[in-house]
Chains A and B, each alone.
Chain A
Amino acid sequence: MTASKEELLAKLSECVVEMEDEEVPEVAAEYIEAGYPAFDGIMDGLVDGMNKASELYDEEEYFVTDVLLCSDAMYAGLDVLRPHLPEEAANAKKPAVVIGVVEGDTHDIGKNLVKIMLETAGFEAYDLGRDVPLDAFVDKAVEVDAKIVCMSTLMTTTMDGMATVINKLKERGIRDKVKVMVGGSPISQKYADDIGADRYSVNAVEAVRVAKELVGIA
């Protein structure tokens, strides 16, 4: 007997929350074989689970290591469901975000979390990694027609790089076209204001709310 759509969606969601990255592809395959739409499986199954994981992280029930494993399960499920998306949904243009840790700094765990949560929320994240040369933020933003440039650092020594990137965006004439978000432990709303960034966010969960507001998909 085939499981109902609701049962399978709940199972997909639970697999993500419970970090079952080996079980999730089987459930996803069962869901597709039963003829249910891939899009719902992604949104109401996998993404629903990742949102629950984010809530648990926000409540300090889950920690960084947990969220990383939940995201592995989500991506494992996505690999199965994505090829079954109808063409228009698969090709739908998502708002592009360029994200990275500024030059001189290699602390990228926070950035990785933000990236995962932005992808879950429907953004196309272009991850430049860590210790990113400042020009690379601008070049990538131009290349992918980014809506948001998202920078982080954990070190006061490297903070200035964020201001430099903003100036470079101005020089290239695209500052009006992109929003700039900044984060990391030495960063504050005041610092964001001082350097002319659009927004600061205190953590990864907040970063998603801010990003949605900035592009008007709240």
Chain B
Amino acid sequence: MNEKERLSRAMHGESVDRPPCICPGGMMNMITTELMDTAHVVWPEAHLDAQKMANLTIANYENGCFENVGVPFCMTVEAEAMGAQVTMGTKIFEPHVTDYAVDSITEWRKITPIDLTRGRAKIVLEAIQILKERNLDVPIVGNITGPVSTASSVMDPVVFYKGLRKNRTEAHAYMQFVADAIIKYARAQIEAGADVIALSDPSGTGEILGPKLFEEYAVKYINRILDSLQKEKMGTIVHICGQMKNVYTQAEQLHSDVLSFDSCVPMKEAKKNLKHHTLMGNVSTWALEFGTPDKVFSLTDKCRRDGSAIISPACGLGTKSPLANIQAIKRGILEGQEAVS
């Protein structure tokens, strides 16, 4: 069973020899400074060069971290393409939005539609093509930023969140516009060679929106995106940040194959509440950055025993996480108690 087959089977609830060990990329960052030094490819250059981007994600796999490759390494590509100002950050800090394209939800018609033939969207698609040409055993993950997070990166999140309640008609029209852009980009990722699409929507959480708006905006437009992708793909992952206890019922309606959570969500509790999805997660990124390999090893084993079918970090990795800690995840899968029994 190679890594692609293993992930494909695990995503669809079929039997596997052991859970896959993945980290999608995008918001779920897999890159660390130690890896950059090992690969001789550094941020921020790697955000702007398809070959470097591809080489850096391959280095993660070649150094025994995760059994996948995935691009990009941030969640600003879509927002930048729609006119937000973005800094590429540093070797340590990820790219982030510094200024918005519009001031209010009613101005959404002024936003530039996404253009895949230029800028970083083009670079990401080229990186996926390069990865595809390498004909790797590991799956290629194309990462997209969720609709709520993208929408609240193109304008001030506070203005946006208020608009969701005060101006529903325009808010829905804007969300549809954003979803259409993401669909276009994600479909192009699959066309370029992505096996899996992973969507992270950290600004569209149950904690921020509450159950009602979470369903009305996050679930609705995430599903629109997922439903609009080509059928010919390995599968889809949705990562949701923060506590889930108020929104399990709503999350259950998401059309992804896999759901992934933060480490504040106990895997056992998630398992009890979510019956229709394969669950992925959720090794603490705190432990991965500040803990020891032994601690990571035992957390990994616990995730697996508690019902995680795909082992992954619970959030994006801190860039200063030691490689030895990251490598301990896979060791935990291969040599942990669960593996022995």
* Chain A residues with CB below 8 A from B213, complex form: 63, 65
The answer, among A66, A72, A158, A185, for a CB contact under 8 Å with B210, is A66
Q: How many A-B pairs with Cβ below 8 Å?
A: 66
The answer, among B157, B162, B246, B320, for a CB contact under 8 Å with A157, is B320
The answer, among B89, B97, B161, B264, for a CB contact under 8 Å with A65, is B161
Nearest residue, chain B, Cβ from A157: B318
Q: How distant is B336 from chain A, measured CB to nearest CB, in Å? A: 24
Q: How distant is A209 from chain B, measured CB to nearest CB, in Å? A: 20
* Chain A residues with CB below 8 A from B161, complex form: 64-65, 68, 109
Chain A interface residue number, banded: 20 to 34
Q: Complex Cα distance A66/B207, Å?
A: 11
| Number of B residues, CB within 8 Å of A | 32
* Chain A residues with CB below 8 A from B208, complex form: 63-65, 109
Within 8 A of A (CB), among B166-218: 166, 203, 206-210, 213
Q: How distant is B17 from chain A, measured CB to nearest CB, in Å? A: 33
Q: Complex Cα distance A112/B156, Å?
A: 12
Q: Does A37 contact B (CB under 8 A)?
A: no
Q: Does B164 contact A (CB under 8 A)?
A: yes
Within 8 A of B (CB), among A78-122: 103-106, 108-109, 112
Instruction: Evaluate contact between B96 and A106: CB separation under 8 angstroms.
Output: yes
Q: Does B319 contact A (CB under 8 A)?
A: yes
Interface centre among A68, A72, A157, A186 (most CB of B within 10 A): A157
Nearest residue, chain B, Cβ from A106: B96
Instruction: Evaluate contact between B285 and A63: CB separation under 8 angstroms.
Output: no
Interface string of B272-288 (1 = CB under 8 A from A): 00000000000001100
CB-defined A-B contacts under 8 Å, sample of 11:
A65-B209, A66-B210, A68-B158, A68-B162, A69-B165, A106-B97, A109-B203, A156-B320, A157-B93, A157-B318, A157-B319
Binding site for B on A (CB under 8 A): 19, 60, 62-66, 68-69, 72, 103-106, 108-109, 112, 131, 155-158, 185-186
